[in-house]
Structure 1
Amino acid sequence: MQNVQKLTLAVLIQAALISTAYASEQSEAKGFVEDAEGSVLFRTGYINRDKKAPGKKDQSSAAQSAIVKLESGFTQGVVGFGVNAVGDASFKLGENKNANNGMIPKHADGSAYDHWARGGASVKARVSNTTVEYGTQVLDIPVLASNTGRMVPEYFTGVLATSHEIENLEVIAGKFTKNQYSDQINTDSEKLDRAVVWGAKYKVNDALNTAYYGVDIKDKLERHYANVNYKQALANDSSFTYDFSGYHTEFEPGTTYSATVADPSTQNTHNTIFAVSGTYNKDVHNLMLAYQQNSGNVGYDYSGNGDGYQSIYMPNSYLSDFIGNDEKSVQLQYSYNFKNQGLAGLNWTTAYVYGWDIKATDNKGTIISDHAKEREFFNQVKYTVQSGFAKDASLRVRNSYYRASNAYQAGYIGDTNEWRIFLDIPVKLF
């Protein structure tokens, strides 16, 4: 923690020294109360997984949640101070005898909680265009991301410094010592010892964006992420977007892996996963083709992060993330916006992903095939209210049809038909 405190102090001093050279966010602070914002998101969620593989149980979860977010403004002066708070309260819908899917916390006997609540607070300080926040936070960092795709968000506890001192450049550095999954009551059930994160993203111009992030998780792994995104304007208001993204991970010897990897006893284990994609956009049409590939002696293993399995910012990611050892996968995705049909706010996305050359393992980690396959057919319809008293309320319905070869049944998801239905109603408090 001492090193992080030194880093935070250095960032603040640097911000103070160069604050006269750039426009300052802090100089425009209106006050602790004047800039405060508050909202609550009412979410009704349902996930059903119809398991087709032998020996795998069906999973079904349904719940109602209220997710509260409160943010004060910053006090005026050279250094501004403020506080934030996040929290959620939920109750199950129905018996939920087979609750799972990261939706609902469970008692020691496996039964679902009837109702539960969680949350936390943080303090923050700002100098010039640099903010430091300490406490409970929801993270959106490619190498350490909060799972927000379930009922309630995943919370991390720690310190994060975010700097915008240079125009179009965001730099971050932080350290986190606790994390709480979406379906956990204990604030540190995963016993995250230490996760140090750093990184930056830079907007070169309106067409070109770049990013790099890293994380060092004590006794588990060191991971690096890079992204380059270029959008080329074409004739007739159309465009083509080129995207490259990738991770490189070095695992600590003795790390316990998830079932997606092979040879868990291997020393000096490492993984590289990358993806390239091209997306054509024309008015209401969006067509993407993506290729993704793993290499190394294990698959990409996000459970080593100690987060909720969301730190995989790659295109071939739906129910399956296509992250098997040595796996290659290709995706074709099409999205359509119904605004020209008089249905503004209604969108449909369909995709097919096919993966091959997977080194599959049995439950003991022994390789039983080096050419296993998996495939997924994905569909999602989402409607967002555009105006009126229910503005921004949304209903999302998605379905995945997932199948894998016999050798890959025990090592990963297993044949599954999945439905997800989420109704979100946001309410602005102030």
Structure 2
Amino acid sequence: MMASSGVALAFPVAAMAAEGGFIEDSTATLQLRNYYFSRDFSDIVGNTAAQDKSKAEEWAQGFILNFKSGYTPGTVGFGVDAIGLLGVKLDSGKGRVGTGLLPTEQDGVAADDYSRLGVAAKVKLSKTELKIGELQPNLPVLTFSDIRLLPPTYQGASIVSQEIAGLTLQGGQLRSTSLRDEAGDDQMRALIPTGSVYRRTDSTDRFNYAGADYAFNQNRTSVGVWYAQLEDIYNQRFFSLKHSEPLGAWTLGANLGYFDSSEDGDELAGEIDNQAFYTQLSAKRGGHNFLVGYQAMFGENGLPRVFANVTPLGNEVPTFEFAAPDERSWQARYDYDFAALGIPGLVSTVRYITGDNVDAANAGGRFEGKDWERDLDLGYTVQSGPLKNVSVRVRNVVARSNYRTDIDENRLIISYTLALF
């Protein structure tokens, strides 16, 4: 079990406990998450090495404990946040590891369990908050990627300020990470699509970021400007625009974003050149929500990101990213909330994404890479009775490509969050 050094700023807990706000405003929750994950692979097409296994399949139980204190009274308030993570193997096997649910040990077998305890000290002045220690940032340039058994965490410092109505300013520096299937700290790497290969870079111990989001027009419109630097690997700029517009019984929405990325400092990953644009247009009425999206990559590389994170790209999903060099992709998505039919808690999603124009290559030379993916999600949250708030989600994926691994994927996630106080 690993403990974060963020508690170094701390003060005697007993002294804080005597102050009313610290205890009275504290909350603690325990989430139980049961996760089955299966990916069946076919042969790889393209210039990458052959897949060394036909399936990745594991089943595990996760426990996520979140504690958030209130603040001590006074102009400057002090508090503590803590997170405890425990993952337990229920089923795995040599040759089926690598799902991201469990750590894989040196003998190629999944660990029986893994755990982590992290603590962050926090200080609040007016509407500005500073945190140092174990962090779970959710930023356009570092999206919170809670897509497996346990969420990833980072170790560093962050500051969030909302002193001006509608304006949120953020900044920080992260020094290390604990990946979704690890217990210890490690330096950060980048994942960079180059040709038909998604390569991991050397590591660094600095991720610096700063950003501003401004909401106006009764919060129906927001714009964002961000900068990120994975030191000596890449730097990145991000610009966003979101808008929601009521129109009779409909609500129309637009979500546009643009990334510009290049190499940084000592260029540990070599030269990097990527510009990424995406747009999503949506229309919602009653339980129906329709969405279409377009995404395009420009430059010599695909979109770089910190490994192993998803990004806010409009057409990126946890199976395929549709972010390879020169790729163009289109999405059609339909969501339905069955509460409109008198079945609250039941929701469904079906989406289809297709991409082409990928700059791919194999032993025979360069060719146009193409891929597509169909996702079907069905979720239900129990509304009453002894199982109230138990959530069940089923996901089925078919993903095909002429330059990367074909995948048939199934996920079953059962979760329940218990409020301790």
Give me the TM-score of the superposition, normalised by structure 2: 0.86
Residue 342 of structure 1 deviates from its aligned partner by 2.5
Aligned partner of 1:177 among 171, 175, 178: 175
User: 1:261: which partner in 2?
Assistant: none
User: 1:149: which partner in 2?
Assistant: 147
C-alpha distance 240-146 of structure 1, shift in aligned 2 (>3 A)? closer
* 1:424 aligns to 2:421 (yes or no): no
Q: Distance in 2 between matches of 1:388 and 1:139?
A: 35
Q: Aligned pair count?
A: 379
* 1:273 aligns to 2:276 (yes or no): yes
Opposite residue 252 of structure 1, the aligned amino acid is D
User: 2:340: which partner in 1?
Assistant: 340
Residue 352 of structure 1 deviates from its aligned partner by 0.7
Opposite residue 149 of structure 1, the aligned amino acid is I
C-alpha distance 323-254 of structure 1, shift in aligned 2 (>3 A)? farther
Q: Secondary structure at the match of 2:280?
A: strand
Q: Secondary structure at the match of 1:228?
A: strand
Work out whether residues 209 and 229 of structure 1, in 8 Å CA contact, stay in contact via their aligned partners in 2. yes
Q: Which moved more, 1:102-111 or 1:381-390?
A: 381-390
Q: Secondary structure at the match of 1:33?
A: helix
Residue 34 of structure 1 deviates from its aligned partner by 0.7
Opposite residue 203 of structure 1, the aligned amino acid is A
Work out whether residues 146 and 156 of structure 1, in 8 Å CA contact, stay in contact via their aligned partners in 2. no
Work out whether residues 126 and 132 of structure 1, in 8 Å CA contact, stay in contact via their aligned partners in 2. yes
Q: Distance in 2 between matches of 1:340 and 1:232?
A: 21
Opposite residue 429 of structure 1, the aligned amino acid is L
Q: Distance in 2 between matches of 1:205 and 1:389?
A: 43
Residue 31 of structure 1 deviates from its aligned partner by 0.9
User: 1:219: which partner in 2?
Assistant: 232
Aligned partner of 1:234 among 229, 232, 247: 247
Q: Distance in 2 between matches of 1:89 and 1:105?
A: 12
Residue 197 of structure 1 deviates from its aligned partner by 1.0
Matches within 5 A, 1:149-298: 149-188=147-186, 190=188, 191-206=203-218, 207-235=220-248, 237-252=249-264, 268-298=271-301
Residue 294 of structure 1 deviates from its aligned partner by 0.2
Q: Secondary structure at the match of 1:113?
A: coil
User: 2:106: which partner in 1?
Assistant: 108
Give me the TM-score of the superposition, normalised by structure 1: 0.84
Q: Secondary structure at the match of 2:339?
A: helix
Work out whether residues 356 and 370 of structure 2, in 8 Å CA contact, stay in contact via their aligned partners in 1. yes
Q: Secondary structure at the match of 2:23?
A: coil
Residue 248 of structure 1 deviates from its aligned partner by 1.2
Q: Secondary structure at the match of 1:289?
A: strand
- Unpaired stretches in structure 2, ≥5 consecutive residues: 1-18, 45-49, 189-202
Work out whether residues 175 and 194 of structure 1, in 8 Å CA contact, stay in contact via their aligned partners in 2. yes
> Deviation per CA, 1:1-37, whole angstroms, max 9, x where unpaired?
xxxxxxxxxxxxxxxxxxxxxxxxxxxx961101000
Q: Distance in 1 between matches of 2:23 and 2:113?
A: 32
Work out whether residues 394 and 425 of structure 1, in 8 Å CA contact, stay in contact via their aligned partners in 2. yes
Q: Secondary structure at the match of 1:210?
A: strand
Matches within 5 A, 1:264-413: 268-302=271-305, 305=306, 307-310=307-310, 312-318=311-317, 319-362=319-362, 368-405=365-402, 408-409=403-404
Q: Distance in 2 between matches of 1:161 and 1:369?
A: 46
Opposite residue 49 of structure 1, the aligned amino acid is R
Q: CA RMSD in A?
A: 1.9
Q: Secondary structure at the match of 1:145?
A: coil
Aligned partner of 1:36 among 9, 19, 26: 26
Residue 389 of structure 1 deviates from its aligned partner by 4.6
Give me the identity figure in percent: 27
C-alpha distance 76-389 of structure 1, shift in aligned 2 (>3 A)? farther
Residue 227 of structure 1 deviates from its aligned partner by 1.3
Q: Secondary structure at the match of 1:392?
A: coil
Q: Secondary structure at the match of 1:31?
A: helix
Opposite residue 38 of structure 1, the aligned amino acid is A
Q: Secondary structure at the match of 1:93?
A: strand
Residue 346 of structure 1 deviates from its aligned partner by 0.6
Q: Distance in 1 between matches of 2:357 and 2:20?
A: 58
> Deviation per CA, 1:206-255, whole angstroms, max 9, x where unpaired?
321112222111111101222111111111x2111111012111123875
Opposite residue 291 of structure 1, the aligned amino acid is Y
Opposite residue 31 of structure 2, the aligned amino acid is L
Residue 397 of structure 1 deviates from its aligned partner by 0.7
Opposite residue 257 of structure 2, the aligned amino acid is S
> Deviation per CA, 1:255-278, whole angstroms, max 9, x where unpaired?
566xxxxxxxxx642101111121
Q: Secondary structure at the match of 2:21?
A: coil
Matches within 5 A, 1:78-89: 78-89=75-86
User: 2:198: which partner in 1?
Assistant: none
- Unpaired stretches in structure 1, ≥5 consecutive residues: 1-28, 258-266
Work out whether residues 62 and 96 of structure 1, in 8 Å CA contact, stay in contact via their aligned partners in 2. no
Q: Secondary structure at the match of 2:383?
A: coil
Q: Secondary structure at the match of 2:340?
A: helix
Q: Distance in 1 between matches of 2:364 and 2:285?
A: 45
> Deviation per CA, 1:173-196, whole angstroms, max 9, x where unpaired?
101101110111221154541111
Work out whether residues 332 and 352 of structure 2, in 8 Å CA contact, stay in contact via their aligned partners in 1. yes
Q: Secondary structure at the match of 1:141?
A: coil
* 1:59 aligns to 2:50 (yes or no): no
